[in-house]
Structure 1
Amino acid sequence: MSSSYDKFQKRRLISSYFSVVLSVFLVLFLLGILGLFVINSKNLADDFKEEIAMTVFFDNDTNDTIIKAFDSELQTAPFVKSFVYVTKDEAAKQHTDIIGEDFMTFLGTNPLQNSFDIHLKADYIVNDSIAKIETRLRKNEAISDIVYDKQLVNLVNDNIKKVSFWILIISGFLAFIAVLLINSSMRLSIYSNRFIIKTMQMVGATKSFIRKPFIWRSVKLGMIGAGLAILALIATLYYVNLTYPNLNILAEEALTAAVLVGVLVVGIIITWLSTFFATQRFLNLRTDDLY
């Protein structure tokens, strides 16, 4: 009979430890994901901005010397991330592929122009900077027109500011929820040992002596949960980096390392504080209140 009861107690204890580790792991993993998203939000925004292309069209009578000179100018321009030269024939082929039929068969001629598709660096994709770049390029008399989505530029810049603000608000809220969830798990774990705590107190053990093993056990569980969360975060980082290399998500090595270390520190601190206050609460209760 005693053996069956001991096995039951052991299973309940293991189940309690597992639930604590699982809750710490899930909360810290989500908190770590949010932290990584915050530090990489600029990279995400920059990657989206740099997808906006500025197309520069040249007159049909522009000779190759002028085209090559413009190509050389773009190679040294500080605002250019990348560019590609598209001939009128290549542009016609692209249009044919898109619309599904050769429009030149009934037009009899190719009305398109040679052009450069330019992708600007993210720092220059603001209204003032783009306007200055456009003014600078239009000084070239061979350029017939410059086209880019001005409305999209405005929307991107306005929405990035709004999204950044709400990310900070949501981050603070989720961090608060994370603390509450881990604290609740630790309190439930201590609650199941409330009679042991009171028994130790009644035989003369000091409060610090009683708290020590519970705090140390909780910190170890917190470290295990945090360690699992860190491994999951590292795996997630490498998966995202392999799937979306353009995001360059591993560029901020120092900040990424700080987030991972922060996950471990948060796991230790929250479990330590939660256990300290939980044990203190039961130490201060009268025996009758334990029921």
Structure 2
Amino acid sequence: MSSSFDKFQKRKLISSYFSVVLSIALVLFLLGLLGLLVINANKVANHFREQVTVTIYLKDTAKDIEIKQLEKSLAIADYVKSTNYVSKEQAAEILKAENGEDFMQFLGFNPLQNSIDINLKADFVTSEKLEEISKDALSKNFVAEVSYDNDLVNLMNDNVRKISFWVLLLSGIFTLIAVLLINSSIRLSVYSKRFTIKTMQMVGATKRFIRWPFILNSIKLGIIGAIIALIGMGFVLYYIDKTFPELTLLTNQVYLIALFAGVFLLGILITWFSTFLATQRFLNLKTDQLY
């Protein structure tokens, strides 16, 4: 009978530990993913900003030396990320591939213009800077037109500001929820041993002596949960980097190491603090209050 009861208690204890570890791992995993989002939010936003293309259309009378000088001046400009010269023949081939038909057969000539596509660095993708670039290019007599989507730029910048605000707000809220959830799991684990705590106290054990094994055990569970969460974060980070290599998520190694270390330490600190509070509460209860 005693053996069966011991086995039951052992299974119950293992189940309790498993639920605590799982809770810690899931919460820290989600918190870590949110941390990854916060760290890379600016990089993702910059990636999309740098996809905005400014197209400078050139007149047919433009000389090769003028075009090359314009390309060279744009290439060395501090606000330009990349430039690409597109001849009218290349533009015709691109349009033909997109539409699936050769429009030149109907027109009998190529109405398109030679052009230079510019991609700006993220910090310079603003309406003011685009307007400045446009005016500078149009001041040259061989430039026919400058084209870019100003509405898209304004919409993108507005959305980036809004998303940044909500990401920071959600980070704070989710961190609080994470602490509360882990604290709840730890308290339930300690609650199941409240009679053991009171018995030890009644035979003369000090609060520090009683509290330490619980804290040490919870820290071990926190470490296990944090390691599981970090493994999950590593898999997600690897998958995203392979799927979207242009985001170069793995280049911010200092931030990533800091985030992983932060998640690991958070798992230890939350479990330590929660266990301290939970054991302190039961240590201060009277015997009749345990029921």
| Amino acid across the alignment from 1:129 | K
**2:33 matches 1:27:** no
CA drift at 1:251: 2.5
| Amino acid across the alignment from 1:133 | I
| Bigger shift: residues 161-170 or 180-189 | 161-170
**2:196 matches 1:206:** no
CA drift at 1:42: 0.7
CA deviation vs aligned residue, 1:227-282 (integer Å, no higher than 9, x gap):
22122222322222222121121232222211111111111111011111111111
CA drift at 1:104: 1.5
- Structure 1 stretches of 5 or more lacking a match? none
**2:125 matches 1:86:** no
| Bigger shift: residues 182-191 or 55-64 | 55-64
Identical amino acids, percent of aligned pairs: 55
- SS at structure 2 position matched to 1:90: helix
- SS at structure 2 position matched to 1:275: helix
Give the Cα–Cα distance (whole angstroms) in 2 for the partners of residues 95 and 138 of structure 1.
Answer: 25
Give the TM-score normalised by structure 1: 0.96
Give the Cα–Cα distance (whole angstroms) in 2 for the partners of residues 91 and 205 of structure 1.
Answer: 85
| Amino acid across the alignment from 2:28 | L
Give the Cα–Cα distance (whole angstroms) in 1 for the partners of residues 60 and 148 of structure 2.
Answer: 20
Give the Cα–Cα distance (whole angstroms) in 2 for the partners of residues 123 and 251 of structure 1.
Answer: 19
Give the TM-score normalised by structure 2: 0.96
* Counterpart position of 1:57: 57
Give the Cα–Cα distance (whole angstroms) in 1 for the partners of residues 237 and 141 of structure 2.
Answer: 48
* Counterpart position of 1:138: 138
* Counterpart position of 2:67: 67
CA drift at 1:136: 2.0
| Bigger shift: residues 159-168 or 132-141 | 132-141
| Amino acid across the alignment from 1:135 | K
Give the Cα–Cα distance (whole angstroms) in 1 for the partners of residues 85 and 205 of structure 2.
Answer: 81
Give the Cα–Cα distance (whole angstroms) in 2 for the partners of residues 245 and 56 of structure 1.
Answer: 29
**2:45 matches 1:41:** no
- SS at structure 1 position matched to 2:249: coil
| Amino acid across the alignment from 2:260 | L
* Counterpart position of 1:113: 113
Give the Cα–Cα distance (whole angstroms) in 1 for the partners of residues 160 and 71 of structure 2.
Answer: 32
- SS at structure 2 position matched to 1:189: helix
Give the Cα–Cα distance (whole angstroms) in 1 for the partners of residues 275 and 114 of structure 2.
Answer: 70
Matched length: 291
CA drift at 1:71: 2.2
Superposition map of 1:252-291 within 5 A: 252-291=252-291
| Amino acid across the alignment from 1:136 | D
CA drift at 1:191: 0.8
| Amino acid across the alignment from 1:252 | N
| Bigger shift: residues 62-71 or 100-109 | 62-71
CA drift at 1:65: 2.1
* Counterpart position of 1:150: 150
| Amino acid across the alignment from 1:194 | R
Give the Cα–Cα distance (whole angstroms) in 1 for the partners of residues 72 and 259 of structure 2.
Answer: 42
* Counterpart position of 1:14: 14
* Counterpart position of 1:227: 227
Give the Cα–Cα distance (whole angstroms) in 1 for the partners of residues 92 and 45 of structure 2.
Answer: 32
Superposition map of 1:235-250 within 5 A: 235-250=235-250
| Amino acid across the alignment from 1:67 | I
* Counterpart position of 1:164: 164
Give the Cα–Cα distance (whole angstroms) in 1 for the partners of residues 58 and 167 of structure 2.
Answer: 43
